[in-house]
Amino acid sequence: MTVQTTHVGSLPRSPALQDLLSDPESADDEEFDAAITQAVRDAVRKQADAGLDIANNGEQSRLAYSVDVTTRLSGYDDEFAERKLPADLADFPDFAEELFGDIENIGGPILTDAIEYTGGDDLRRELDRFDDAVKHEHASFADRFHTAPSPGAVLRFTESRIHDSTEEYLFDLADALNEEYRIVADSGLQLQIDAPELLAAFTITFEDATVGEFREHVRTYIQAINRALAGVPSEQVRMHACWGNYPGPHHHDVALDEVVDLFYEADVSGLIVEAANPRHRHEYRTFEEHPLPDGWTLVPGVIDVKTNIVENPEAIADQLERFAETVGDPSRIVAGTDCGFETVLGANFVYQDIAWKKLEALTEGAAIASERLE
């Protein structure tokens, strides 16, 4: 059997593209469009060269995984919604300052009018650009995917001034995102829902909550995801949950086994979870106590996107074997990364060339595991 390989979505952007995205008015529309087209082609070619089985467009045109979609929603203005940094960093303020400089808050736009999905044509152009890039590079993949944030991910980095409650805003986001999800599914691609709030919100939103209280928030997040997925075939959807893509201590993270049973209520057929970083490398055991639902695929992250150390393919294979043994069926395992390599423009902790070397190690490790699991 063959252990397939994939990644979580964002891939390194070139310095020139970073500059252009940071200041889009520096180029005319034609130049900007040409730069994005070339960047997607490069991302496709490099994924093929690395041997990845399930690929995407590398999120090359996005400023951030979570709030890019707000450009396709009406009602948001240019004001900035401030959000505090994760609670684990509060224990190490000197480190936090060194890590993030003088940035005290992170956030996104503020909603001041009714939400409506208005970006269908823009999204279809993005999907067509990816398809054209695959053809241009003569690339062949077993499957392809496209990422979209969960309602809770958008909620985390934005703010509403027109809703009476956070929950009301969350479910209005779900209704608006449904069209985005449907368009991706109709294109034939796998839809990946990025839902870091299912784990990371324990330290970035509900840092004073008990685990029991946090479980209720997770339940609500899952309900919002399911509402946003109405009409989308579950077999076409995978969901990514993580503890936050930053190289912090993470010593306050909630344990996977304390919430994973709630994940299984999502209308999806695949789960992507961190497993490479040292804080959570042991959590493969969770799937013994909480077996995957029937028909689900597990994508363990076996590449740490927060360190420039290139994983040894033998170590990757060992980890994949552990997951295969725990799940009980190697065919339900796909090798992946913990998170994206550049989820926010310029916030990549792995040097660009090393990121691609790590993905080469991923495919080498998956090949070794495939031989051992025959």
pLDDT of residue 96: 87
Q: Which residues contact 24 (CB under 8 A, 6 or more apart)?
A: 32
- The per-residue pLDDT for range 147-168, each reduced to its tens digit, is 999 999 999 999 999 999 999 9
- The per-residue pLDDT for range 332-363, each reduced to its tens digit, is 999 999 999 998 887 788 999 999 999 999 99
CA 116/CA 19 separation, integer angstroms: 30
* Domain containing residue 53: 4-372
Residues in the chain, pLDDT under 50: 104-105
In angstroms, the first-to-last Cα distance of the chain is 6
CATH number of domain containing 198 = 3.20.20.210
C-alpha to C-alpha distances, 248 to 276, 309, 337, nearest whole angstrom: 15, 16, 18
Question: Residue 226: exposed, middle, or buried by beta-carbon count in 10 A (0-12, 13-18, 19+)?
Answer: middle
Domain count, the chain: 1
Task: Give me the DSSP letters along 214-250.
Answer: HHHHHHHHHHHHHHHTTTS-GGGEEEEE-S-SS-S--
CA 119/CA 109 separation, integer angstroms: 16
pLDDT of residue 218: 99
Residues in the chain: 374
pLDDT of residue 64: 84
**Strand 190-194 to strand 270-273: parallel, antiparallel, or no bridges (unpaired)?**
unpaired
pLDDT of residue 100: 76
pLDDT of residue 105: 46
Residue at 248: amino acid letter: G
